Amino acid sequence: MEKDYTVVQINSSSKGKISCAKKFATKMQKHPSYLEKKMMYLLDTLNIKYDFQHVIYILTKDNQLDKFYIADFFIRDKNIAIEVDGKFHEMQVEKDNARITDIQNHYPEIGFIRWKNEDFKSEKSIKLLRTILS
């Protein structure tokens, strides 16, 4: 049975943060980047079901919402997040790596794929993605 990382048991004091997370994700869904659109096309072509701009909540031990992250794509049945890295991410590699580490410290079952623009041009990368997600 797959785990739903969007449904969490939280204290009522966290509801404002959850609302903020959902609004931010919705805003990002309305304005996908060029690379995100390419990934959507690729996943659709491979018939892979995904969530776009998927919120992952990080809770404290007493179920307070500590923070949230938004994965570009989340494949629920595989527990895999895909991050599409454009030029912006070249300037924040350490921050991106810390973010993945934080998520995996709370949800070790989530795997990550970092996808760069060059990967769209590589048949080997596309075959690997198909193998992992199929």
The pLDDT value given to residue 97: 87
Give the pLDDT confidence of 58-104 residue by residue, as tens digits: 988 887 888 899 999 999 999 999 999 776 656 667 888 899 999 99
pLDDT at 16 over 70: yes
> Cβ of 115: how many Cβ atoms within 10 Å?
21
Q: How far apart are CA 81 and CA 91, in angstroms?
A: 21
Q: Would you list the domain boundaries of the chain?
A: 12-133
> Are 56 and 70 within 8 A, CB to CB?
yes
Task: Give the CATH architecture of domain 12-133.
Answer: 3-Layer(aba) Sandwich (3.40)
Banded model confidence at residue 13, pLDDT cuts 50, 70, 90: low
Banded model confidence at residue 14, pLDDT cuts 50, 70, 90: low
Look up tokens 């596309």; give the residue: 126
Banded model confidence at residue 7, pLDDT cuts 50, 70, 90: very low
pLDDT at 133 over 80: yes
Q: Residue 120: which residues within 8 A CB-CB, separation 6 or more?
A: 35, 38, 42, 126
Q: Residue 51: which residues within 8 A CB-CB, separation 6 or more?
A: 73, 74, 76
Percent of residues, the chain, with pLDDT higher than 70: 84
Query: 32 vs 55, 56, 114, 124, 130, CA distance in Å?
Result: 15, 18, 17, 25, 22
